[in-house]
Amino acid sequence: MAGVIYEHVTKHFGDVVAVNDLDLEIADKEFLVLLGPSGCGKTTTLRLLAGLEEVTQGNVYIAGRLVNDISPKDRDIAMVFQSYALYPHMSVYDNMAFGLKLRKTPKSEIDRRVKEAARMLRIEELLGRKPKQLSGGQRQRVAVGRAIVREPKVFLMDEPLSNLDAKLRVAARAEISKLHQRLETTFIYVTHDQVEAMTMGTRIAVQKDGVLHQLGTPQELYNYPANLFVGGFIGSPAMNFFDVTLVSEDGDLYVDGGTFRLKVPEGRSQALLPYKGRKVIFGIRPDDVHDPQFTPPNITAGKIKAQVDVTEMMGNEVFVHLLTGEKSFTGRFDPRTGVRVGDTIEAVLNMDNVHAFDPQTEKAIR
């Protein structure tokens, strides 16, 4: 078993709290993604596990063993860095074998592991080359191969795809996911790219300002964000937010945004009743904002009169930026849409999938 536990872990850099009272348990063979904006503490969280930073408070466990005072080389982990950190004067073979040579692994075993990893990553023909003779994608594979030959209990990856172009990143995402399935080892992966997190992670830990805001499967975070930050950070394009007032009329509850009034579905109104007469933040994803000509069947529809401000043709869908009053929001329209910039339409909202947040605490109202 190679599970990982962070137990009330805090890390200070002078007066800066990089990681604040982190409680996190990562299961054996899980693919956990640490996700958040730059400076949120996710790389520090990884480095604390690797032993590259010392814990200020709390404990870190790998496979049930407390590792706070154990040196990085004895923690049975392997790390892939954003820069790949390859030795420029060594061949690909020697880069991959270097860590094993330091551990005085027998030559025959080194050869077996390097060639097996090279086969797995389809870089056998590159073993004699130097890093400067490789493309970005090939260097990334060599860095991953160097980690694989260690046969560690835990793989740590710190934004390993950020130096690749967009097309190669998509291919590399799939390769790393397949690698995880083949190796059946615990992976902990750091990224600021929520698309990477959603497509690769078994679970995602969302961090901001050193604090863990939510932990869950990609679908849980998408459908049930714990707070305003998670709701806005997960999903592309981002969730639309409106400052509204909850008003009651003839026994029904409505969200009043000034330029629009939408009836809250019965299934959602119970949780919002304590906020009657108060302001809340109303959220809806672009996926649930539709062209009136191409509205899905069997939804609880609400309508907002809006002007088309910008359209972005994506091929299989169109991102339509709309204005209601001075408020901008985005819809994900059917590619057959005929709307044009300057048109005034009644955008249809799926009220079954709306979100509401307390403006003071920013927590989701369930």
Task: Convert the pLDDT of each residue in 154-211 to its tens digit.
Answer: 999 999 888 778 888 888 888 889 889 988 899 999 999 999 999 999 999 999 999 9
Backbone angles phi, psi at 142, to 5 degrees: -65, -45
| CATH number for position 295 | 2.40.50.140
CA 54, CA 330: separation in Å to the nearest integer?
44
Which amino acid is present at 266? E
| CATH number for position 49 | 3.40.50.300
Of the residues 233, 268, 294, the one at which a domain ends: 233
Q: Which residues of the chain have pLDDT under 50?
A: none
Cα separations in angstroms, 335 against 308, 322, 323? 15, 16, 20
Query: Tokens 């981002």 sit at which residue?
Result: 238
Residue 99: inside a domain, yes or no?
yes
In the chain, what is the straight-line distance between the N-terminal and C-terminal CA atoms, in Å? Answer: 36
Q: Is there a single domain that holds both residue 187 and residue 95?
A: yes
DSSP letter, residue 133: G
Question: Which two three-digit tokens encode residue 131?
Answer: 């890093």
Q: Is there a single domain that holds both residue 332 and residue 209?
A: no
Q: pLDDT digits over 286-313, tens only? A: 999 999 999 999 999 999 999 999 999 9
Pairing of strands 186-191, 31-35: parallel
Beta bridge partners of 74: none
Beta bridge partners of 282: 242, 356
Query: Quick check: 65 and 144 in contact, CB under 8 A?
Result: no
Pairing of strands 344-350, 327-333: unpaired
CA 361, CA 280: separation in Å to the nearest integer?
11
Beta bridge partners of 4: 26, 62
- At residue 105, the pLDDT reads 92
Query: Quick check: 30 and 153 in contact, CB under 8 A?
Result: no
CA 128, CA 125: separation in Å to the nearest integer?
7
- The CA-CA-CA angle for residues 9, 234, 41, to 5°, reads 25
Query: Quick check: 323 and 307 in contact, CB under 8 A?
Result: yes
Q: Is there a single domain that holds both residue 248 and residue 218?
A: no
Q: How many domains does the chain divide into?
A: 2
Q: Is there a single domain that holds both residue 219 and residue 258?
A: no
Q: Is there a single domain that holds both residue 83 and residue 141?
A: yes
- At residue 295, the pLDDT reads 94
Q: Which domain holds residue 308?
A: 240-357
CA 127 from centre of chain = 33
CA 317, CA 306: separation in Å to the nearest integer?
19
18: left (phi over 0), alpha (psi -120 to 50) or beta: alpha
- At residue 1, the pLDDT reads 59
Residue 362: inside a domain, yes or no?
no
- At residue 276, the pLDDT reads 93
Q: Is there a single domain that holds both residue 139 and residue 252?
A: no
